């Protein structure tokens, strides 16, 4: 089977579309300003990313420690068995997160800009 000129054009267009989608969604490195810690879908802490602090939050299976240091945040201790949340390392850019799913703890970095209202119900 031979690759035709039309196939090459199609592959190039799909590749360009894929790059555009990644640039819009994944390569963004907007500066983060705040760390939001949620347990079981409820916000329990909101701290400035510039503040150095260790936060202890309790989830369904135990206590998770979150460290905020030098403009970055990370999970440093968790009761889960696989420790994927700890292995994910530091997060510092807006819209990035680390999660301990067994303990239902999510650590998110958000930017200084508020995105506004998603929906209005009356």
Q: What would the pLDDT profile of 5-34 be if each residue is shown by its tens digit?
A: 998 999 999 999 888 877 766 555 777 899
Distance in angstroms (rounded) separating the CA atoms of residues 57 and 7: 54
118: pLDDT strictly greater than 60: no
pTM above 0.75, yes or no: no
The pLDDT value given to residue 119: 52
Length of the chain: 122
Q: What is the pLDDT of residue 28?
A: 58
DSSP string covering 83-98: -HHHHT--B-BTTEEE
Under CATH, what is the fold of the domain 34-110?
Answer: mini-chromosome maintenance (MCM) complex, domain 2 (2.60.320)
99 or 26, higher pLDDT? 99
């Amino acid at each position: 089977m031979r690759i035709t000129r039309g196939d090459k054009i199609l592959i190039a267009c799909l590749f360009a579309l894929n790059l555009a989608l990644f640039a819009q969604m994944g390569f963004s490195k907007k500066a983060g300003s705040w760390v939001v810690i949620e347990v079981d879908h409820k916000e329990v802490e909101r701290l400035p990313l510039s503040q150095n602090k260790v936060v202890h939050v309790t989830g369904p299976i135990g206590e998770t420690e979150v460290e905020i240091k030098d403009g970055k945040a990370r999970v440093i201790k968790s009761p889960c068995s696989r420790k994927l949340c700890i292995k994910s390392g530091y997060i510092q850019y807006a819209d990035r997160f680390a999660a301990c799913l067994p303990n239902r703890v999510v650590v998110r970095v958000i930017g200084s800009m508020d995105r506004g209202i998603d929906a209005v119900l009356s």
